[in-house]
Amino acid sequence: MRDVTADYDFLVLPGLGNSGVEHWQSYWCMALRNATRVIQDDWDQPHPQAWMQQLDAAITGGSRPAVLICHSLSVSLAAHWAARNTPGRIKAAFLCAPSDVDHPENTPDSVRPFAPMPLKPFPVPALVVASTDDPYVNPERARFFADAWLADYCEIPELGHINTATRLGLWPQGLLLLGQLLARVKD
């Protein structure tokens, strides 16, 4: 079987505070060929324009088709990107544990500059992965985002914010979901 991951650049986009060494995104950076973490200048006081500039630089800096692998606040970054861009070299978006930036009861004030959450359909195949007990977004709201973005939706029981605290390691289930998303990409 051919390794389809060799065909893509994987742009790994952590959320607020970055993803620590035990986060599944960090494991994926090591496991996926051509994976690059998009580094932000300020992980704790995020500014949408600055984060978007880093994403744009990562997109334009590569040569292969690219896949966005987003967690938490970076899901809203990807939604802002999708609302204002054509796909270009982006071929898919893996959108894990979106933070509900519109609702102060779910998220800290530091993410409010990313509100309102764009609801324009993604121009590429997308998958929203959400947990039934995520403190930053309830499943109904995560499904609402997926529907607005014309994204597939996968709800996983009781994985919290699907982050380091969940202790997923390489997160094989997530890699299977990524593979299913890549199977939807048209050449």
pLDDT digits (tens, 9 = 90+) for 147-176: 999 999 999 999 999 999 999 999 999 999
Provide mean pLDDT across the span 52-58: 97
Strand, helix or coil for residue 69: strand
Helix residue spans in the chain (DSSP H): 24-31, 48-60, 73-84, 139-148, 172-183
Higher pLDDT pick, 15 / 87: 15
Predicted pLDDT of residue 63: 86
Predicted pLDDT of residue 1: 37
Name the one residue in this structure whose structure tokens are 């334009």.
Answer: 60
Report yes or no: 12 and 38 within 8 Å, Cβ to Cβ: yes
Predicted pLDDT of residue 88: 87
Predicted pLDDT of residue 78: 98
Tell me how many degrees the CA angle 175-179-185 measures, rounded to the nearest 5.
145
Total number of residues shown for the chain: 187
Provide mean pLDDT across the span 135-150: 98
Q: Is it the case that residue 180 has pLDDT exceeding 90?
A: yes
Tokens found for residue 130: 């959400």
Predicted pLDDT of residue 4: 66
Which domain covers residue 15, as residue numbers? 4-183
Give Cβ neighbours of residue 132 (< 8 Å, ≥ 6 apart).
Answer: 139, 155, 156, 157, 158, 159
For the chain, count helices (H), then strands (E): 5, 6
Q: Is it the case that residue 5 has pLDDT exceeding 50?
A: yes
Provide mean pLDDT across the span 127-131: 99
Higher pLDDT pick, 49 / 6: 49
Predicted pLDDT of residue 3: 67
Report yes or no: 122 and 145 within 8 Å, Cβ to Cβ: no
Strand, helix or coil for residue 89: coil
Predicted pLDDT of residue 6: 79
pLDDT tens digit sequence for 65-115: 999 999 999 999 999 999 998 888 899 999 999 999 999 988 999 999 999
Provide mean pLDDT across the span 46-51: 97
List residues bridging with 68 in a β-sheet: 11, 93
Residue 113 gets the label, from left (phi > 0), alpha (psi -120 to 50) or beta, of alpha
Number of independent structural domains in the chain: 1
Q: What is the CATH number of the domain that holds 65?
A: 3.40.50.1820
Predicted pLDDT of residue 187: 60
Q: Mean pLDDT, the chain, as a whole number? A: 95
112 DSSP 8-state letter: G
